[in-house]
Amino acid sequence: MHHDLLHNSAYSKTSSANPPSHHVPQNAPCFVSDIFAMLREALGTDGDLRNNSLAQFAVCGVSDIPSDSLFLELAKETSRDQTHGPDVLHPTGVLMSAEEETGVLTLTFDLPQSPLPLLNPVLLLAFEHPLRGPNMDVTFTSQLLDPNTQTVCISAETQYIPLTGKASEGNVHQKWKISAETKSPDMKQTLKEILIGEESGSNISMYPLLLFSRGTETRSPASHGSFLCELRRFLADVLPRPDSPPISLDSLHSLPPLTIGPSSSESLLAGLMNSSAPTVFSFSGGPSMFQVHRGELALPPALLEELSQRLEQMATHTMEAMKEEEGADRATRSLDRLHSLCVFPKAEPAAGERQYRAFLLLKALQTVARSYEVQRALRATRADHDRPPRSNVCSLRSLTVSLERYLVGPNTAAINNCHGACAFPMLNGNNHAVLLNSHIEGGNVGERAPCCVPVAYEGLEVVDLNEHGTYLTIKPDMVAKECGCR
């Protein structure tokens, strides 16, 4: 008996009420870009896969990867080309069937025509999250694989299953038919849930992608989408992640939005470049627009030179600061890639797109620098054992909250808060607070005592990228700067 599931070009599952989609997840606009980043990070300095990447890519062991492995070669090409990744074909249809008696699964991927020859093709079965399941060895077999039979080792850390294929010429409409099986009887149902999913619906969704090398073909310039995805990963790596529930920015009062583009005034852009307010980058146009978003600036020469100098200073400052942080190697490589997408050519004027990226990166690095200053101050306070314990006097304390929305990053905001007592002599108290405190100390305990509260704020800058352009919105009175007794 066969159990068949047919996915058409819209990736709809006809026999399930709650189907797992096999299209790239729409709520993850950086899904493919993140895969390329994982491929770059998988390689060590010796050109081999890092040990901590073997389980992630379902590799059984270093000895199982020959030096001429297509997957290893594709990873090396991705690592060499820091601003691009391999070319990608998305299957237009997926047919899946399960042989109930033997437990053998058959996957048929309907690939679109490609105008380019498929050099070093690797069929990547990708998952949005690590599988978190039991360990199992799985054998895939097909005449289109090279070698025809390939064994992978799935574990709790596995997120990608690469299957190397045979090269083919372009303009070939192909169906890749692959069988998959595990020898362990106890694991057959688990494998079925991973690759096909249950009829009642599965919380595991597999996304097949065919990655291949373009060879000597000329590549197009890196897109804004790849820059924004790299910026998103960088900010996620270097900024703190609080455990608090996310808060929506939509409920906050905002000043009227300002357009960031070629028509923006010199005074506006100069003010933003010199602003110390923290910045978050939001993408409210929806994930489908993420990869096609475009932006440009047309800065006058003097302001362009200032942007270039400030970006170089902030990049150098951030690189130095990251050396003090744990596990900063990946963030350093990410900043290198971002910088390469923004650096201005010396022999000709910088293109509007590069000016735009440089401006966004400068604002991001200013926010990172601010965060590092807060973290260093906290570490210094904890490390200074000679200091007497801080008295419970009204003072400014660090507070970081989680943010909700389609945020490129950061997904947090350091808004600070005020804590401590307002007993005499009180901190930064006004006349009302002083008189109120004296009144209460005279025995009138029924009144509210003076409270430690923020008395000065600065705004949060939200750079909103959508299908209509780029806009700056100021959320006023968002970050506490000074405390007082009121």
Q: Are 113 and 22 in contact (CB under 8 A)?
A: no
Length of the chain: 486
Question: What does each of the 486 residues of the chain score in pLDDT, given as a tens digit?
Answer: 444 433 433 333 333 333 344 566 655 678 888 888 888 888 887 778 888 888 999 998 766 666 567 788 888 877 776 666 788 888 888 888 888 778 789 999 988 877 777 777 899 999 888 988 889 999 999 999 989 999 999 999 999 999 998 877 665 557 899 999 998 888 888 888 888 765 444 455 788 998 887 665 555 555 567 888 889 889 888 887 777 788 888 788 999 999 999 999 999 999 999 998 889 888 765 555 666 677 899 999 999 999 999 999 999 999 998 887 776 888 998 999 899 888 888 777 778 999 999 999 999 999 998 888 877 766 666 565 455 555 688 988 888 888 876 667 787 888 999 999 998 778 888 899 989 988 888 878 788 889 999 999 999 999 988 778 899 999 999 999 999 999
> What is the structure's pLDDT at 140?
96
Q: Which residue has the tokens 């933003």?
A: 272
For CA atoms 305, 311, 312, 317, the dihedral sign is positive
Task: Write phi, then psi, for 219 (nearest 5 degrees).
Answer: -90, 150
Pair type for strands 417-419 and 400-404: unpaired
Residue type, 147: P
The CATH homologous superfamily of the domain defined by 395-485: Cystine-knot cytokines (2.10.90.10)
Instruction: Report DSSP state, residue 22.
Output: -
Q: Are 280 and 460 in contact (CB under 8 A)?
A: yes
Question: Can you tell me the distance from the alpha carbon of 290 to that of 285, in angstroms, rounded to the nearest whole number?
Answer: 7
Q: Are 37 and 29 in contact (CB under 8 A)?
A: no
Tokens of 3: 């159990």
Q: Up-side HSE of residue 401: CA atoms within 13 Å toward CB?
A: 13
Q: Are 465 and 408 in contact (CB under 8 A)?
A: yes
Query: In terms of Cα–Cα distance, which of 321, 274, 236 is closest to 461?
Result: 274
Q: Are 470 and 295 in contact (CB under 8 A)?
A: yes
Question: Can you tell me the distance from the alpha carbon of 407 to that of 204, in angstroms, rounded to the nearest whole number?
Answer: 24
> What is the structure's pLDDT at 248?
81
Question: Can you tell me the distance from the alpha carbon of 39 to that of 444, in angstroms, rounded to the nearest whole number?
Answer: 69
> What is the structure's pLDDT at 148?
94
Q: What SS3 class is residue 301? A: helix
Q: Are 206 and 314 in contact (CB under 8 A)?
A: no
- Ranges of CATH 2.10.90.10 domains, the chain: 395-485
- In the chain, % helix, strand, coil (3-state, to 5) comes to 30, 25, 45
Residue type, 74: L
Q: Which residue has the tokens 């900063």?
A: 328
> What is the structure's pLDDT at 62?
67
Q: Are 321 and 372 in contact (CB under 8 A)?
A: yes
Strand partners, 400: 414
The pTM of this model reads 0.81
Task: Write phi, then psi, for 376 (nearest 5 degrees).
Answer: -65, -40
Please, which residues have CB within 8 angstroms of residue 202's CB and are 6 or more apart in sequence?
Answer: 20, 193, 196
Strand partners, 402: 412
Q: What SS3 class is residue 294? A: coil
Could you give the C-alpha distances from 221 to 35, 90, 169, 226, 410, in angstroms and in order? 19, 21, 25, 10, 26
Reported as type and span, the H/E element at residue 364 is: helix 352-383
> What is the structure's pLDDT at 366?
93
- The secondary structure of 382-420 as a DSSP string is HH-TTSPPPPSB-EEE--EEEEESSEEE-SEEE--EEES
Strand partners, 234: none
Chain centroid to CA 87: 20
Task: Write phi, then psi, for 37 (nearest 5 degrees).
Answer: -65, -40
> What is the structure's pLDDT at 143?
92
